[in-house]
Amino acid sequence: MPSCHGSAPKSLGPCDATVALAGNPNVGKSSLFNALTGARALVANYPGKTVELEWGVIESGRRRIGVVDLPGAYSLEGLTEDQRIAAEVIRNNEVDAVLVVLDASNLARNLYLGLEVLATGLPTAFALNLVDQADARGKPVDVAALSRELGAPVVRTAGHRGDGAREALAATLAAMEAPRSPGSGSRTEPEDLHRRAREIAANVTGSTAIGATESALWRWTTTPSTGVALLLAVLLGIFSFVYFVGGFLSTAFSSGWSAAVSPVLQAASYGALGNGPAARVLLWGIDSGINATLAVGIPYVIPFYLLLGFLEDSGYMNAAAVLTHRIMTKLGLHGRATIPLISGLGCNVPAVIGTRVLSSGRERFIACTLISMVPCSARTAVVFGAVGLYLGPLPALAIFGITLLVTLGTGIALNRLVPGRPPPFLLELFPFRWPTPRNVAFKTWHRTKHFLLAAVPVVIVGSFLLGALYETGAMWALTGPLDPVVVGLLGLPPVAGLALVFGFLRKELALQLLVALAIMQYGGSAATLTSFLTPTQLFTYALVTALYVPCIASVAAIGRELGWRKALLISAITVVLALAAGALVAHVRAFW
Amino acid sequence: MPSPLAEAPAPSECVVVRLDAAGGLGRELRALGLVPGTVVRVLRRGRGHVLVAIEDARYSLGEDVARTVVVRRR
């Protein structure tokens, strides 16, 4: 069997043809993709490109068809990196055929992209989605007439239920068999293309009913007087849900691992390698490393992704972006950056990947810098475990408050310092819809899988490294060189410096590491943090931990997305800010 | 009298006369249908942005973006 057409990832296995799903944002394209490929879809790098796209394989008759879900775009002239990739795949004929998904309730604009795709000459079929909404608006679409006008097959689909998905794919494959049209080749002016799209839409809906109006829900969500309160309530809801559900899952996963897997791994390691440092380093990596992702990353990421998927599908995210865009513009960002920034509260790694929805390199750099300062679940655990537990909830809130101020200040400063301008603001307001549980579940599953692949290996490698440095005692060599900064600037004991530096490998260990090192230094009496740290020192330590470089996994993610130079620069910025904030707190408190 | 969309009252109905945005923004606006002859309905003016409808879709355009779209009242 021949391998997939030129551009499909190798991990997909052999297939006979590749089909791209294209369409405007929010037209139910991904629901159709999920209906076609089920949960087996895999996220893969497009060969030679940095953007990951979702691929799936479908058995159709005796053929294996590779299907790729392209990022939603309004045209083949996309503004963001995501959309440019979608355009390239189609313009360069990197697939064998295209299935264009159309929103029947907004036909004219959707047809613009459809006509652009047709003009490339690629075999094309159309899936007419959201038909019920068009019917409800009194603009039913005549499918046969639409097919005649376009000169291509059109199939009615209901993406949220998966109805018609297989038929639409079959029509696309059939289009490949039909004699190939040459494609117009030459570019049509946007004015003419829009005129043609509107003409077709008018002909097949037979209605000139007036279009969109503003609903009360939009007014409430995007007007500051009501919208801000609603946004704060949503954020508080996210935070509590993630905190409680995550905490529950964390305990469940971690105690399950400790009870069932850890003893086996320990017995095997000590059995094979003896009771020496080699066995302990191995256990750092495979036992405590995996346990860490079960206790800190995964349990908080899953409930967060559930809510994120729900909010995205509901249409609320864009309303929130409209509301926040004035603040975001001051930070050099588009309102759209709100979404990745908020998702940093779960874990910085997917948040960094989420900056692909932003259009310029400048914006992505600023967003990744700010995301690096958003307290993820690991750092939140440190703040609660150190400050919340020993000093009380108000000082813990103060840490989050200071972090927020530093993050906002950094955004304002970067917007002035980094050459360029904030991106122009332009956003579609989607109709509010009830998300379907099926689609939200799919999204959560795909994202969690993505998170596992991106973060877990790095955390395990970091654990090995940390274990090796700890067990061999190599980390103590850094005590002397760090003293001027740690003792002089931050007023912390020397062991705290080591815990800070090596906490980079596993941020959530910043506390346990500190206690473990303190016991080695001062003896067993150092088992509680307050026995060797004053409240000011504890506060300073937690604040610095919250602000400097999130962790090795997030730096790796930034490196992959923006390049290593920017990853290093962002790390340096956060270290300087953390030290400055820490020093300020240490010295201001000393005055009191 | 043609004037920027940013100054159009809400609610009102306008026709696009000219698009002054160049580059990526220009391409994006044209893709959304902001080309000469298109009817734009101004639904609401918010702080720093204006909410418009083109056919069956609604968009929020930042003040700076709305300044690049020159329209005539209908």
pLDDT tens by residue, A244-265: 888 888 889 888 988 888 888 8
**Average predicted confidence (pLDDT) for chain A:** 84
Q: Quote the CA–CA distance of A101 and A110 in Å, as a whole number.
A: 8
For the stretch A514-550, pLDDT in tens is: 877 787 777 777 777 888 889 999 999 999 999 998 8
Interface test with A, best of B58, B59, B63 (most A CBs within 10 A): B58
pLDDT given for residue A590 in this prediction: 60
Provide the domain limits for residue B47: 3-73
Q: Tell whether A525 is covered by a domain.
A: yes
Q: Do the beta carbons of residue A131 and residue A137 sit within 8 Å? A: no
Q: Taking residues A177-194, what's their average pLDDT?
A: 74
Q: Do the beta carbons of residue A18 and residue A95 sit within 8 Å? A: yes
Q: Taking residues A144-151, what's their average pLDDT?
A: 90
pLDDT given for residue A181 in this prediction: 65
Closest approach of chain A CAs to the CA of B43, in angstroms?
A: 7
Closest approach of chain B CAs to the CA of A77, in angstroms?
A: 6
A506 by DSSP, 3-state: which?
coil
Token pair in block for residue A582:
């820490």
pLDDT given for residue A454 in this prediction: 73
Query: In sequence order, which residues have a C-beta less than 8 Å from that of residue A145 and are 6 or more positions away?
Result: A203, A204
Token pair in block for residue A436:
């379907």
pLDDT higher than threshold 70 for residue A156: yes
pLDDT higher than threshold 80 for residue A137: no
Q: What's the Rg (C-alpha) of chain B?
A: 11
Q: Taking residues A437-458, what's their average pLDDT?
A: 82
As for how many domains chain B has, the answer is 1
Q: Tell whether A148 is covered by a domain.
A: yes
| Choice among A111-125, A203-217, A410-424, B42-56 with the minimum mean pLDDT | A203-217
Q: What are phi and psi of A462, to 5 degrees?
A: -60, -40
**pLDDT bucket at A574, cuts 50 / 70 / 90:** very high
Burial class, A159, CB count within 10 angstroms (exposed 0-12 / middle 13-18 / buried 19+)? buried
**DSSP one-letter string for A128-171:** EE-HHHHHHTT----HHHHHHHHTS-EEE-BTTTTBTHHHHHHH
∠ CA A339-A343-A348, rounded to 5°? 125
Quick one: closest CA in A to B53, which residue? A212
Interface test with B, best of A426, A427, A428 (most B CBs within 10 A): A426
pLDDT higher than threshold 60 for residue A205: yes
Closest approach of chain B CAs to the CA of A538, in angstroms?
A: 43
Q: Do A211 and B41 touch (CB under 8 A)?
A: yes
Question: Domain of A85: which CATH number?
Answer: 3.40.50.300
> Which among B33, B49, B55 has CB closest to A322?
B49
**DSSP one-letter string for A314-346:** HTHHHHHHHHHHHHHHHTT--GGGHHHHHHTTT
Q: Which residue has the tokens 């629901």?
A: A31
pLDDT given for residue A541 in this prediction: 92
| Choice among A125-139, A172-186, A287-301, A371-385 with the minimum mean pLDDT | A172-186
Same domain assignment for residues A198 and A303: no
What share of chain A in percent tops pLDDT 90? Answer: 20
C-alpha to C-alpha distances, A486 to A525, A545, A550, A578, nearest whole angstrom: 22, 13, 19, 12
For the stretch A416-425, pLDDT in tens is: 999 988 888 8
For the stretch A303-331, pLDDT in tens is: 888 888 888 888 888 888 888 888 888 99
User: Beta A52-60 vs A42-45: how paired, if at all?
Assistant: antiparallel
| Residue A163: closest CA among A452, A438, A574 | A438
Interface test with B, best of A106, A194, A196, A359 (most B CBs within 10 A): A194
pLDDT given for residue A539 in this prediction: 93
Q: Do the beta carbons of residue A101 and residue A156 sit within 8 Å? A: no
Q: Do A212 and B59 touch (CB under 8 A)?
A: no
pLDDT higher than threshold 50 for residue A48: no
Q: Tell whether A218 is covered by a domain.
A: no
Provide the domain limits for residue A305: 225-260+278-420+453-591
Q: Do B55 and A222 touch (CB under 8 A)?
A: no
pLDDT given for residue A408 in this prediction: 95
Q: Taking residues A368-391, what's their average pLDDT?
A: 87
Question: Domain of B12: which CATH number?
Answer: 2.30.30.90
Query: In sequence order, which residues have a C-beta less than 8 Å from that of residue A90 and are 6 or more positions away?
Result: A20, A22, A70, A76, A98, A117, A120, A122
Is the previous residue joined to B11 through a cis bond, with omega within 30 degrees of 0?
Answer: yes
Q: What's the Rg (C-alpha) of chain A?
A: 27
Which of A238-242, A429-433, A471-475, A523-527: highest mean pLDDT?
A: A429-433
Q: Do the beta carbons of residue A507 and residue A378 sit within 8 Å? A: yes
**Average predicted confidence (pLDDT) for chain B:** 89
pLDDT higher than threshold 60 for residue A578: yes
Does residue B17 belong to the interface with chain A, where contact is any CB pair within 8 Å?
no
Same domain assignment for residues A188 and A234: no
User: Beta B12-19 vs B39-45: how paired, if at all?
Assistant: antiparallel
Same domain assignment for residues A173 and A80: yes
pLDDT higher than threshold 70 for residue A409: yes
Q: Tell whether A4 is covered by a domain.
A: no
CB pairs under 8 A between A and B: 115
Q: What are phi and psi of A101, to 5 degrees?
A: -95, 125
Q: Tell whether A440 is covered by a domain.
A: no
Q: Tell whether A529 is covered by a domain.
A: yes
∠ CA B42-B47-B52, rounded to 5°? 20
Does residue B4 belong to the interface with chain A, where contact is any CB pair within 8 Å?
no
Q: Do A74 and B41 touch (CB under 8 A)?
A: no
Q: Which residue has the tokens 């313009």?
A: A91
pLDDT given for residue A212 in this prediction: 63
A107 contacts in B (CB within 8 Å)?
56
Residues of chain A that touch chain B, judged by Cβ-Cβ distance less than 8 Å: 74-75, 77, 79, 105-109, 112-113, 137, 139, 190-191, 194-195, 198, 201, 211-214, 218-219, 222-224, 322, 325-326, 329, 359, 424-429
Same domain assignment for residues A156 and A233: no
Q: Quote the CA–CA distance of B51 and B66 in Å, as a whole number.
A: 10
For the stretch A466-525, pLDDT in tens is: 888 888 878 778 778 888 888 888 899 888 888 888 788 777 777 777 877 787 777 777
Same domain assignment for residues A477 and A381: yes
pLDDT given for residue A3 in this prediction: 46
Quick one: closest CA in B to A103, which residue? B56
pLDDT given for residue A100 in this prediction: 95
pLDDT higher than threshold 80 for residue A299: yes
Closest approach of chain A CAs to the CA of B28, in angstroms?
A: 7
- Looking at per-residue confidence, does A9 or A421 come out higher? A421
**pLDDT bucket at A2, cuts 50 / 70 / 90:** very low
pLDDT given for residue A163 in this prediction: 84
Max Cα-Cα span within chain A: 84
Does residue B67 belong to the interface with chain A, where contact is any CB pair within 8 Å?
no
Burial class, A266, CB count within 10 angstroms (exposed 0-12 / middle 13-18 / buried 19+)? middle
Same domain assignment for residues A200 and A332: no
Q: Quote the CA–CA distance of B41 and B11 in Å, as a whole number.
A: 7
Token pair in block for residue A303:
């409930």
**DSSP one-letter string for A253-288:** HHHHHHHHTHHHHHHHHHHHH-SSHHHHHHHIIIII
> Which among B47, B57, B62 has CB closest to A425?
B62
Same domain assignment for residues A137 and A236: no
A109 contacts in B (CB within 8 Å)?
32-33, 54-57
| Choice among A196-205, A463-472, A566-575 with the minimum mean pLDDT | A463-472
> Which among B27, B28, B57 has CB closest to A106?
B57
| Choice among A99-108, A206-215, A473-482, B32-41 with the minimum mean pLDDT | A206-215
Token pair in block for residue B34:
């902001």
ipTM for this prediction: 0.93
Q: Tell whether A434 is covered by a domain.
A: no
pLDDT higher than threshold 80 for residue A152: yes
A483 by DSSP, 3-state: which?
helix
As for how many domains chain A has, the answer is 2
Q: Give the total residue count for chain B.
A: 74
Q: Quote the CA–CA distance of A511 and A507 in Å, as a whole number.
A: 9
- Looking at per-residue confidence, does A506 or A333 come out higher? A333
Q: Do B29 and A426 touch (CB under 8 A)?
A: yes
Same domain assignment for residues A408 and A367: yes
